[in-house]
C-alpha cells in the first residue's frame, strides 16, 4: 500500500477529483492548506501599507492505494493538475504499513 | 445645525401667505363700512344695525385668520419634525451599524466584536449622560465656553420648540437629534485605539472625553452664548454646518493623541495586519454615506431648501472624494482598491460636513476632490513618515478631512446658499469676505488645542484609574476573548 499526498492548485481540484473518479478511485481526504515552494507570493496594499503574502492557498489530497493502482493514479493527477506554471504543486509517495477499517476492523488492502 | 436661520423659501411662503391674508382682510373690512355708510336713503333705520355688526364681523375674521396662522405653523412644524426625526434615526444608523461595520471589517478577526462593542456601548453610555447633564452642558445658555444646568435631567425639554435653535420643531426632537452627534463623535476615536484599548478604560475615557472635550466644543460652536457661534452672534463666528470642528477635528485630533500616547500595536509595522473583512467595511461605508444625509441635511433643522442644498453638497462631496482617492491610488499603485474608494468617500463626507449648508454643488465637488487626495496622502505618506499607529486612520480621515473641510468652508461659503449673517451680507471668501477664513482658523485652532490638552489630561486620569491598554498577552490573544469572553466567528459550532 502506498500513500499519495498531492498538493495542487485550488483551481485544479475539481478536474483532479473527476479524473480520479473516472479511473475508479473514489476515496480521498482533502484539506485546504497554505504554503509555498518556488512560487513567490503576491503583494497586497491596504491604505498604503504593503503586505507580501507568501503563503498561498493550496489543496492537499491524500489517497492510500494498493501498489498496483499507484502509477495510474499519479499519472492521472499529473495530467489533470498541470497548468505548466510555477505553483502547480507536488506529489509525495510513501509506504503505508497498515490500514484498518473502523467499522468492521478489516485490515490490509481490503480495508481501503 | 446650531440654530441656523431657516432658509428663505419658508419665510417667503409664510410672508406670501401673510400678505394674501392681509389683502383679504382689508378688502373685506373696507367693503363693510362702505356698505354701511351708503345705505339707501329711504331706509335710514337699517344704518345703526349695520354699523354695530362691523366690529363683530371683523373679530370673526381675525379669529379665522388666527386659526389659519396656527394651522400653517402646525403644518410647517409637522413637515420639519418628520424630516428631523428621520434624520436623527439616520445619524444613529451611522454609529450602529455603519461605523461599527466599517471599523469592524478593518480590524483582525480576533478584535471585531471589541471594536463593534465600543461603538455600541457609546450608543448607550452617551445617551444616559446626555439625559443627565450632556444636553444642558452643550445647549444650555451658559458662558462663551460651556452651557449650564438649566436642561439637566431634561428639565423643561418638551414639545415646545426652543426658538434659539430650531423654532419649528419640538425641543425634544432637537435634543434627540443632537444626541446622535454626541454618540458618533467619541466612537470615531476608537479607530485609533483599536485592537489594544481596554474596555473598562474605553468606557471611562469616553465618559470624561464627552464631558471635557465634546460638551464645551459643541457649546462654543452651536450653543447659545458660545463664542464661535455663527448664527447667534459669537465673537469669532466659525462656520460649521454639521460638525467639521465639533465632530471631526475634535475626534480626529484626540485619536492622534491616543495613538501617540498608547504606542503601537504589538508587531506593528513589521507584522502584517490586513483588514479581516473588507465586505463588512464596504457595507459600513455605504451605510455611513446614506446616514450622512441625516447628519448634514438634517443640520438644516428644517425640511426646506437649505436641507436640499446640504443633501446635494453632501452627496457630491462624497462622490468626488471617492474618485480622487481612487485616482491617486491608481497613479501610485497601478490599481484602484475597494478600500481606497470607500475610504475616499468617507473622507469626502467628513470634509463636506462643515460646508454642507453653505456651499453650492460645484464647490462641494471641489472640496471633495481636494479632501480625497489630501486624506490619501495623510494615511499613506504622512503616517509612514511619523510612524504613529493610528490603526484605522481616525486622524488621517477625520482629523485631516475635518481640518481641510473647515478651512475650505471659509473659502467657499456663499450668502445665496445660506445668508447666515443677514440678507446681502457676504459670508465666505467667494463672497469677498476673506476674513471668514481667519474665523475658521480660530475655530480650527481652538478645536485642536482643546482636543490635545483635554485628551492628554483624560488619558492620564484613565491610566491611573483603570489603565488604558491591555497587556501584551491579552493583545496577542485578541480583545474579543480577553475583554468580552466571546468570539466573533465560531465557524465550527
Q: Domain residues of chain B, as ranges?
A: 84-484
Closest CA to B94 of B2, B28, B180: B180
d(CA B401, CA B444): 12
Q: Judged by CB atoms within 8 Å, which residues 228-287 of B form the interface with A?
A: 269, 272, 274-275
**Range with the poorest average pLDDT among A95-99, B14-18, B102-106:** B14-18
The answer to whether A44 contacts B274, with C-beta atoms less than 8 Å apart, is yes
The answer to whether A46 contacts B337, with C-beta atoms less than 8 Å apart, is yes
Residues from chain B contacting residue A51 (CB–CB below 8 Å): 272, 274
Residue-by-residue DSSP string for A53-101: E-SEEEEEEEEEE-HHHHHHHHHHHHHHH--SSTT-EEEEEEE----B-
pLDDT tens for residues B27-39? 444 444 443 344 4
Spacing of C-alpha B127 from chain mean position = 16
pLDDT at position B296 is 98
pLDDT at position B474 is 97
pLDDT above 70 coverage of chain B, percent: 89
Backbone torsions φ then ψ of B491, nearest 5 degrees: -70, -20
A24 touches chain B (CB under 8 A): no
pLDDT at position B39 is 40
The answer to whether B333 contacts A49, with C-beta atoms less than 8 Å apart, is no
pLDDT tens for residues B167-206? 999 999 999 999 999 999 999 999 999 999 999 999 999 9
Which residues is A51 bridged to in the sheet? A44
pLDDT tens for residues B331-370? 999 999 999 999 999 999 999 999 999 999 999 999 999 9
Mean residue pLDDT across chain B: 91
B377 touches chain A (CB under 8 A): no
pLDDT at position B453 is 97
pLDDT above 90 coverage of chain B, percent: 84
CATH topology of domain A2-111: Alpha-Beta Plaits (3.30.70)
With a cut of 60, say whether residue B163 has pLDDT above it. yes
With a cut of 70, say whether residue B409 has pLDDT above it. yes
d(CA B111, CA B480): 5
pLDDT tens for residues B412-439? 999 999 999 999 999 999 999 999 999 9
Spacing of C-alpha A15 from chain mean position = 12
Q: Domain residues of chain A, as ranges?
A: 2-111
Over residues A86-92, mean pLDDT: 93
Whether ipTM tops 0.95, in short, is no
Helices within B334-434 (DSSP H only)? 338-352, 361-377, 383-386, 394, 400-412
pLDDT at position A41 is 80
pLDDT tens for residues B80-97? 999 999 999 999 999 999
With a cut of 90, say whether residue B78 has pLDDT above it. yes
Homologous superfamily, domain B84-484: Ammonium transporter AmtB like domains (1.10.3430.10)
Helices within B154-249 (DSSP H only)? 171-193, 199-209, 215-222
d(CA B403, CA B407): 6
B437 touches chain A (CB under 8 A): no
**B17: confidence class by pLDDT, cuts 50, 70, 90:** low
Residues from chain A contacting residue B381 (CB–CB below 8 Å): 48
Over residues B289-310, mean pLDDT: 97
A68 touches chain B (CB under 8 A): no
Q: Give the list of residues 6+ apart from residue B319 with CB closer than 8 angstroms, or none.
A: B345, B348, B365, B368
With a cut of 90, say whether residue A89 has pLDDT above it. yes
Residue-by-residue DSSP string for B312-339: HHHHHHHHHHHHHHHHHHHHHHSS--HH
**B15: confidence class by pLDDT, cuts 50, 70, 90:** low
pLDDT at position B3 is 43
Over residues B44-61, mean pLDDT: 67
With a cut of 60, say whether residue B223 has pLDDT above it. yes
With a cut of 60, say whether residue A72 has pLDDT above it. yes
d(CA B32, CA B74): 31
The answer to whether B337 contacts A45, with C-beta atoms less than 8 Å apart, is yes
The answer to whether B339 contacts A49, with C-beta atoms less than 8 Å apart, is no
pLDDT at position A55 is 87
**B272: confidence class by pLDDT, cuts 50, 70, 90:** confident
- Judge contact between B484 and B120, C-beta under 8 A: no
Supply the angle between the helices B46-93 and B8-37 in degrees, to the nearest 10: 170
With a cut of 80, say whether residue B1 has pLDDT above it. no
With a cut of 80, say whether residue A39 has pLDDT above it. no
How many angstroms separate the Cα of B260 from the Cα of each of A110, B253, B256, B382, B383?
A: 67, 11, 6, 14, 12
With a cut of 90, say whether residue B482 has pLDDT above it. yes
Over residues B141-145, mean pLDDT: 89
Amino acid at each position: 500500500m502506498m500513500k499519495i499526498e498531492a498538493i495542487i492548485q485550488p483551481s485544479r481540484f475539481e478536474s483532479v477529483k473527476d479524473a480520479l473518479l473516472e479511473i475508479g478511485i473514489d476515496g480521498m481526504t482533502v484539506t485546504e492548506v497554505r504554503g509555498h515552494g518556488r512560487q513567490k507570493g503576491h503583494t497586497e496594499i491596504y491604505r498604503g501599507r504593503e503586505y507580501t503574502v507568501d503563503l498561498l492557498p493550496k489543496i492537499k489530497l491524500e489517497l492510500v492505494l494498493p501498489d498496483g493502482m499507484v502509477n495510474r493514479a499519479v499519472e492521472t493527477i499529473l495530467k489533470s493538475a498541470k497548468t505548466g506554471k510555477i505553483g502547480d504543486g507536488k506529489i509525495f509517495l510513501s509506504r503505508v504499513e497498515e490500514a484498518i477499517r473502523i467499522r468492521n476492523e478489516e485490515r490490509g488492502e481490503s480495508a481501503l | 445645525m446650531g440654530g441656523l436661520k431657516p432658509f428663505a423659501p419658508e419665510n417667503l411662503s409664510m410672508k406670501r401667505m401673510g400678505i394674501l391674508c392681509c389683502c383679504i382682510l382689508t378688502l373685506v373690512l373696507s367693503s363693510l363700512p362702505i356698505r354701511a355708510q351708503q345705505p339707501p336713503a329711504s331706509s335710514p333705520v337699517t344704518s345703526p344695525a349695520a354699523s354695530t355688526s362691523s366690529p363683530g364681523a371683523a373679530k370673526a375674521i381675525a379669529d379665522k385668520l388666527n386659526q389659519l396662522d396656527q394651522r400653517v405653523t402646525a403644518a410647517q412644524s409637522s413637515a420639519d419634525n418628520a424630516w428631523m426625526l428621520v434624520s436623527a434615526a439616520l445619524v444613529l444608523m451611522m454609529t450602529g451599524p455603519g461605523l461599527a461595520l466599517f471599523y469592524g471589517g478593518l480590524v483582525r478577526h480576533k478584535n471585531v466584536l471589541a471594536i463593534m462593542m465600543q461603538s455600541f456601548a457609546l450608543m448607550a453610555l452617551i445617551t444616559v449622560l446626555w439625559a443627565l447633564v450632556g444636553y444642558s452642558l452643550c445647549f444650555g445658555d451658559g458662558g462663551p465656553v460651556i452651557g449650564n444646568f438649566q436642561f439637566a435631567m431634561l428639565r423643561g425639554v418638551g414639545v415646545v420648540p426652543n426658538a434659539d435653535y430650531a423654532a419649528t420643531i419640538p425641543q425634544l426632537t432637537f435634543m434627540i437629534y443632537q444626541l446622535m452627534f454626541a454618540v458618533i463623535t467619541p466612537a470615531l476615536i476608537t479607530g485609533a485605539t483599536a485592537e489594544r484599548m481596554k474596555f473598562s478604560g474605553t468606557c471611562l475615557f469616553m465618559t470624561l472625553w464627552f464631558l471635557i472635550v465634546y460638551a464645551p466644543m459643541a457649546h462654543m460652536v452651536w450653543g447659545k452664548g458660545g463664542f464661535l457661534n455663527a448664527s447667534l452672534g459669537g465673537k469669532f463666528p466659525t462656520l460649521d454646518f454639521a460638525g467639521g470642528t465639533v465632530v471631526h477635528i475634535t475626534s480626529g485630533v484626540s485619536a492622534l493623541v491616543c495613538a501617540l500616547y498608547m504606542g503601537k500595536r504589538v508587531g506593528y509595522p513589521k507584522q502584517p495586519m490586513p483588514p479581516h473583512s473588507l465586505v463588512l467595511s464596504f457595507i459600513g461605508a455605504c451605510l455611513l454615506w446614506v446616514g450622512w444625509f441625516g447628519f448634514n441635511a438634517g443640520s438644516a433643522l428644517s425640511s426646506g431648501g437649505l436641507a436640499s442644498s446640504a443633501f446635494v453638497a453632501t452627496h457630491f462631496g462624497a462622490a468626488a472624494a471617492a474618485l480622487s482617492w481612487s485616482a491617486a491610488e491608481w497613479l501610485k499603485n497601478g490599481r484602484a482598491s475597494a478600500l481606497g474608494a470607500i475610504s475616499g468617500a468617507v473622507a469626502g463626507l467628513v470634509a463636506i460636513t462643515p460646508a454642507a449648508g453653505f456651499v453650492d454643488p460645484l464647490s462641494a465637488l471641489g472640496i471633495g476632490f481636494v479632501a480625497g487626495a489630501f486624506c490619501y496622502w495623510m494615511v499613506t505618506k504622512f503616517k509612514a513618515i511619523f510612524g504613529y499607529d493610528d490603526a484605522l486612520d481616525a486622524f488621517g480621515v477625520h482629523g485631516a478631512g475635518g481640518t481641510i473641510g473647515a478651512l475650505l468652508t471659509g473659502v467657499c461659503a456663499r450668502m445665496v446658499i445660506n445668508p447666515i449673517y443677514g440678507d446681502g451680507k457676504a459670508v465666505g471668501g467667494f463672497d469677498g469676505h476673506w476674513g471668514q477664513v481667519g474665523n475658521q482658523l480660530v475655530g480650527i485652532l481652538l478645536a485642536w488645542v482643546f482636543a490635545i490638552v483635554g485628551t492628554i489630561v483624560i488619558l492620564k486620569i484613565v491610566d491611573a484609574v483603570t489603565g488604558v491598554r491591555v497587556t501584551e498577552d491579552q493583545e496577542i490573544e485578541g480583545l474579543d476573548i480577553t475583554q468580552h469572553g466571546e468570539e466573533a466567528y465560531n465557524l465550527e459550532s
